[in-house]
Structure 1
Amino acid sequence: MNRHLTESARAEAADVRRFWKGLGLPGLVDVHTHFMPERVLRKVWAYFDALGSLTGGIEWPITYRQEEGERAELLREFGAVAFTAMLYPHKPGMARWLNGWAADFARRTPGCLHTSTLFPEPGAEGLVGEAVAAGARVFKAHVQVGAYDPADPLLDGAWGVLAEAGVPVVIHCGSGPAPGKYTGPGPIARVLARHPRLRLIVAHLGMPEYEDFLDLAERYPQVRLDTTMAFTDFAERMAPFPRRALPRLAGLGDRILLGTDFPNIPYPYLHQLEALERLGLGSAWLRAVCHDNAARLFGLRGDGSGRGDEGGDGSGEGGGGGAVGRRERRGR
């Protein structure tokens, strides 16, 4: 344990590690964690503090306000063998700068999957292609914050590049915690109709349109969903998950991935894990969600190392231009 962490952080990390060790896992893979330039992150925190529209006017205290290095170290001490640096632009010209920062962050941060982002602007296809060539393993898109239509023609080529390369995209396209002009299942369904092999990871299980996004996952085999904030006491007060849909969630157990929104959460990290456990879907489901599904998608070994094209489960599931990407290029 890093000696710079507080005693309470050490105790919390011990509790988190007990959780995944009890499942017989080598650690956690968290596909939805936020790291971004400090001045950008501080603005995000200020927005949450001010109870803006994205919070739905609900008090949203940020639990983990430590400095960047301590936050990354805490995630590793939780046992996150791999995590992401979700970041996103809200205007043209911002994506290139954020991608440069994220590439450097991944290089200097053990455990971080090289994360990139995109925005509907001229040259978006080329920018995404550059990021993929530079080793980006996952992208983040935020329809709500960016206030753009994911089916915008300016993004069509970019989605095509990502579908061909097999690089996953974590996308906030649900209407929670507050709806936007282009949130909801309709706009992203139009993207999938054009790019059915696009590896979309729908953030927050598509909150609050859970069942609509389950429909999309059942229709498109490459669509996945992450658990970010879902089932927590905080989220259940705002947008409860319909219990009638739990069998469908169980049926998609190989395509549900752990996400937490660390550090921008108003409760301890462990609560997300316990919220998943109390669903009662079983240890095998929990093991898949908390580690195995994402490890297969990104071609990770137990220690979080490995590249997406190193084989995954043997079915070409690795992101980042692996076997599926090669088959897709041949088939286009």
Structure 2
Amino acid sequence: MTPEADPEPHDAAPQPDPNEAVVPDTPDTVDSRFRGATDCHVHLMPARLMAAIRDSLHDVAGWEFPHPVDRESMEGFLRGHGVARYCALPYAHKPGIAADLNDWVLARAAESEMCVPFATVHGEDRVGEVVRDAFEAGARGLKFQCPVQECGPADPRLDPAFELAAEYDRPVLFHAGTAPMFEDSPHVGVDQFRTFCESYPTVRACSAHMGTFEHEQFFDVLRDHENAYLDTCFAMSTAAPESMGFDPATVPDDVFEEFAGRVMYGSDYPNIPHEYADERSHLLSRDLSEGAFEALFRGAADRFLALD
């Protein structure tokens, strides 16, 4: 969801004190339908890079961030909100940083019982080498912030990464949609995501943010490709109308029933300018079956990650 950021920010927007973060729920107040959830869209990156990302978002959108960025505080917060596991998603906004960034995420994951580490690579890197090293070291998937990295699902430079994803049975999570500010980017859009699904039919591929603003066309891709997924982050939050100009109520309940097992809960935490509960409150207000809720908050992520 993030625009390009300089990893060494100057005059960055003030960062929060973790001790002043939004107070987590207590176990008694977490909705039983959500408790034990997997958050498939969390950003865990070095503090300087996170500060740069937040500074950039503050400049572009005016957002302020009440959430901590260090692993221990993040995990304590997520656990307090009922999350049992999360996917840590890095991305490399320029060449030459992906390998070190992947190593950093993997090291943090080794200290954690909650973290499922993903890796990234830039199109100008030695793509195959970076990705193979990350997979061999334990990365469970790949993340691409396509408009920021300027390399999308149909970029031939990334073919070595996609071929390795197929070889290692690792999923790929793309920011492939145009929201919230990327409608003019040549690196996103439903056509590119569809091309990927056609070219790599065995690779589980997710488009973040429910595919907004082309969500209806992304639903068609899911109908045509059994390994295509969406995540809900930001777009299905109660904050979406104000923060990204999208009303989550325009997505009918039957979408979550039809694609149960292929729509995953995600939040974009900690880089969200609203309370964490806003990410799930609209979803929990929907009239869904027990099976659809189970799939949304747990089962779809299990399937995406190929976990028993």
Paired residue type of 2:175: H
Shift of 1:5: 8.0
Matched, 1:227 2:216: no
Aligned partner of 1:30 among 39, 47, 55: 39
Matched, 1:48 2:61: no
SS of aligned partner of 1:225: strand
Alignment correspondent of 1:201? 206
| Structure 1 CA distance for aligned equivalents of residues 286 and 146 of structure 2 | 29
Alignment size in residue pairs = 288
Matched, 1:125 2:164: no
Aligned partner of 1:108 among 108, 111, 124: 111
With the length of structure 2 as denominator, give the TM-score of the two structures: 0.86
1:140-185 CA-to-partner distances (Å, cap 9, x unmatched) read 1110111223322211121011023221112111000012221111
Structure 1 pair 298/26, CA: closer, same or farther in 2 (3 Å)? farther
CA contact (8 A) 2:25 2:81 kept: yes
Alignment correspondent of 1:73? 76
Matches within 5 A, 1:250-329: 250-298=257-305, 308=307, 312=308
SS of aligned partner of 1:90: coil
Shift of 1:241: 4.1
Gaps (5+ residues) in structure 2?
1-16
Query: Where is the helix percentage greater, Structure 1 or Structure 2?
Result: 1
Shift of 1:66: 5.5
RMSD over aligned Cα, in angstroms? 2.3
Aligned partner of 1:188 among 193, 210, 218: 193
Alignment correspondent of 1:164? 167
CA contact (8 A) 1:5 1:74 kept: no
Shift of 1:7: 9.3
| Structure 1 CA distance for aligned equivalents of residues 238 and 180 of structure 2 | 14
CA contact (8 A) 1:211 1:245 kept: no
Alignment correspondent of 1:62? 65
Alignment correspondent of 1:243? 250
Deviates more, 1:191-200 or 1:290-299: 290-299
1:42-91 CA-to-partner distances (Å, cap 9, x unmatched) read 001111221x2xxxxx4322121354421222112223221122110111
CA contact (8 A) 1:121 1:155 kept: no
Structure 1 pair 196/66, CA: closer, same or farther in 2 (3 Å)? closer
| Structure 2 CA distance for aligned equivalents of residues 35 and 67 of structure 1 | 8
Structure 1 pair 123/5, CA: closer, same or farther in 2 (3 Å)? closer
SS of aligned partner of 2:119: strand
Paired residue type of 1:32: H
Paired residue type of 1:145: V
CA contact (8 A) 1:122 1:154 kept: no
| Structure 2 CA distance for aligned equivalents of residues 84 and 284 of structure 1 | 22
| Structure 1 CA distance for aligned equivalents of residues 141 and 130 of structure 2 | 14
Structure 1 pair 164/9, CA: closer, same or farther in 2 (3 Å)? same
| Structure 1 CA distance for aligned equivalents of residues 105 and 70 of structure 2 | 16
Aligned partner of 2:26 among 10, 14, 24: 14
Structure 1 pair 149/139, CA: closer, same or farther in 2 (3 Å)? closer
CA contact (8 A) 1:64 1:263 kept: yes
| Structure 1 CA distance for aligned equivalents of residues 203 and 29 of structure 2 | 35
CA contact (8 A) 2:42 2:87 kept: yes
CA contact (8 A) 1:88 1:142 kept: yes
With the length of structure 1 as denominator, give the TM-score of the two structures: 0.80
CA contact (8 A) 1:140 1:169 kept: yes
Paired residue type of 1:212: Q
| Structure 2 CA distance for aligned equivalents of residues 283 and 59 of structure 1 | 38
